């Protein structure tokens, strides 16, 4: 059974930083495209950043230059470094893994940014 477990969320002041991590069990992430999404109550889940199996990255325009996604295939993890956080980025952040027809989601980690 594949499980993705996020960690690293919490409370931070506006302008601060957090580093989210996603650890996988039950599969090896090396071949997967990995992504971080976020979702606020009553809103659609949106993609924040993704990283291909080859290491190519893509970011939502709103986080470019502030967030960095990375992966450590040896540790079977993916991370999201978030800098200069804004109050409106208070969301639940989810880890996602995709390979062919396989899609897996973590349960999310709460990020709260105080103004």
- pLDDT tens by residue, 13-28: 999 999 999 999 988 8
Q: In this predicted structure, what is the pLDDT of residue 92? A: 98
CA atoms within 13 A on the CB side of 73: 11
Nearest-angstrom CA–CA distance, 105 and 89: 20
Q: In this predicted structure, what is the pLDDT of residue 109? A: 98
Residue 68: pLDDT band (50, 70, 90) is very high
Q: Is the pLDDT of residue 65 over 90?
A: yes
Q: In this predicted structure, what is the pLDDT of residue 62? A: 97
> Considering the chain, what percentage of its residues have pLDDT values greater than 90?
92
Mean pLDDT, to the nearest integer, of 60-78?
A: 96
């Amino acid at each position: 059974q594949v499980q993705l477990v996020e960690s690293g969320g919490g409370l931070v002041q506006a302008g601060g930083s957090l580093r989210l991590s996603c650890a996988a069990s039950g599969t090896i992430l090396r071949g997967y495209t990995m992504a971080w999404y976020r979702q606020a109550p009553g809103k659609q889940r949106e993609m924040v950043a993704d990283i291909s199996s080859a290491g190519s990255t893509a970011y939502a325009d709103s986080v470019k230059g502030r967030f960095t996604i990375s992966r450590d295939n040896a540790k079977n993890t993916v991370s999201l470094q978030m800098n200069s956080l804004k109050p409106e980025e208070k969301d639940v952040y989810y880890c996602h893994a995709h390979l062919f027809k396989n899609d897996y989601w973590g349960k999310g980690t709460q990020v709260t940014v105080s103004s």
